[in-house]
Structure 1
Amino acid sequence: MLTTRRRNLSPLKTRRVQQSTPQQKNEFSSLEEAMVDDQAQIKEEARLIKAFEDWEKQRSRAVAKHYKLSQLEQSRAKEERRLERKLDNMVIQEQMEWERTQLELVEQAQRQARGNQRRLLRDEHARTLEIDRRREGAAKITRHFFDRLAVLDPEPALEMFTAKRDELVRCCLELMRDFADDNEIEAFQAELQESLQREVNTLRCRQRAFQQEQRVQTHKKQVHQDMRRAQYQEIQTHLQAKRDTRTTDRVVREEIDKQHDLQDQRYRAMQARKKQKDLDVHTKLLEQMRLKQAEKAVVSLRIEGKTSPVLRTPYWSDEAQEAQLDTFVRSSPIVQAPESPVIRGKVRCQWYD
């Protein structure tokens, strides 16, 4: 495209060169040289691009060929593996058939063995149940015998146990002798002897505990008697102390009553004196009032325009004013106001009340 452009511009350039100045001609020549160099560079780049495109095509063809070859190799290997798996499956199937046959044989033998074992176990279980039933019967006999001993006192229980022990062992062994073997009978006999020995130890412990309890009861009775005796002595001592205290309190109360009676007598005497004194004062006042009434009826005097009093001046009035009344004569001495007596009442005593 650049070549065409240059070719199209050549006549214009030629005309311009022909019409231009020498300086412009030099510039045009340098420009033309530069354009020639650019065209050469463009051709070189086009050649390189074409060479790269050719190499790219060759590489893509080689890659496609290699891919096809690899695809063929993979399909061939896949087929070989399929054939190998088929052969392996056939071998495995034959092996499994053989193993299944062997397992069936082994399982059949195991079923027979389990059946035999179950029969043996059933027989053994039935025998064990029978032995357990007989042992339970023997245990019931011994338990009944032990229960009979438990309700007795320790000493009679020991005597009865010593007398019946051999008979109990014989009766229990008769239950096991017809069914169990010698080893089981020996084990049962050893167990029976052990239980009997435990019962003997229990009875002896009961005897010792009973004796200890008897001693404790005796000691308790003695202690109780001593305690009751000490309590009785303490009660008697306390009663005697109470009697002495009551006697002392009675004497003290009598003395206090005497003091109170004496105070009451003094108070009554004082009240009588006060009453008599009040009566005397009242009598005197009545007498004075009577005299004043009589004087008021017969005397009517006026001194310096003042009315002379007829009645006497009360005891609370100012007697200094009586001196101004020349005609007033007191008919009787002045009665003093009675004093309030000191009343000494009974003093309340909580203990005495």
Structure 2
Amino acid sequence: MKNQSFAVTVFSTFVLATSSLTTSSLAVAQTGGSTSGSRSPVASNSNTTVFTAPASGSQTQSIDYLNPRTLYPQVSSFAGRNQAEQIFPTGNQGYKPGSKASSSLSDNSVKLINPITLPPSNTVESDNFGTSNHPFTTARNPQTTGYPYSPSGRLFFNIGNSSYVCSASAIQRGVIVTAAHCVANFGAKQFYSNWQFVPAYNNGNAPYGVWTANKAIVLTSYYNGTDRCSQKGVICDDDVAVLVMTPKSGHNVGDSTGWYGFGYGGFGFTSFLNHTSAQLTQIGYPVSLDNGVIQERNESLAYTNSNGSYQQLIGSLMTGGSSGGPWLLNYGVNPNVYSPNTLGQNYTANPVVTGVTSWGYNDYSIKEQGASIFTSNNILTLYNAACTYTSLLACK
């Protein structure tokens, strides 16, 4: 059974309070320290901080795929709720396109745990909004293999000797995006370790195999705790991280799964009913739904605010385990638009990530979640840093 017994003034994928993650609970390498004669695995500059994983075969930690814990920051209140504003952070607007898979690599398929027998779904009730009155629709994804399902997956990792789980998605051939709180302990200069991405995870099965991270990258402001936050370490401007994956035999994860594009600086948002809004699809593996073993899909109208930190909010039934899962524009396979175009349709971008699940409320009746807005200062900076590691086939 998933462990959700920790206290909550920070959300069920931060069911474990950040203050309890002391240096003694983490390997020396994760804190940026070094043993005599060794090289520190952590390198920082003014923009980004990078953790390099130990060489293959030297990793002593293991992952408990059956009983991972969750990290999901929760709050009791947020001053910005229902206060939509018509502004975005300073910076450029733009997007990077995604891509469908270039090969199947079906021989990567493995079974991680025995499938769990799930009870049949309950009868549908009128329960598509909470006390926030923010409507949504949450349901199982009909499948996980094939584009656009396959770039999303479960992210397993270690904090000390314990196993944890978040959600994540591929945004380049060898780059995945997730929440920074699934990678590092805010302001404590501590990284977690042993990240394993399982794209299209489905009830114990890994149809595209398990991919390990070689590099973990967060903004230095998140790492050292100077990031602007409405609530320190929970609702912040930049709860975003990227992982650079280790290739296998000259292939990387995106070759077999494809990857999403990503947009920043308000890409895809428009003014609607006095809100800066976009219709988004959220993907994740919350442990409160289907025990966290099925990929869930949530649809909601997002709106933005900047009350203390730049955030986008959606209605959602998801909880712990969904942290780091993508919030997507144009989710699905685009229809063809034929000329002459008499009805005004335009070609649209492939699925585009605009944020990742960051936090929710410890009062589950509210049924609303938040995400740091993607900007040129966070996601683009992280992406560009990841793409410098060309030897890892990250962006080739």
| TM-score greater than 0.5 by the shorter chain | no
Which structure features the higher share of strand residues? Answer: 2
TM range (shorter): under 0.3
Higher RCO (Cα < 8 Å, 6 or more apart): 2
Which of these two proteins has the greater Rg computed from alpha carbons? 1
TM norm structure 2: 0.13
Q: TM-score, normalised by structure 1?
A: 0.14
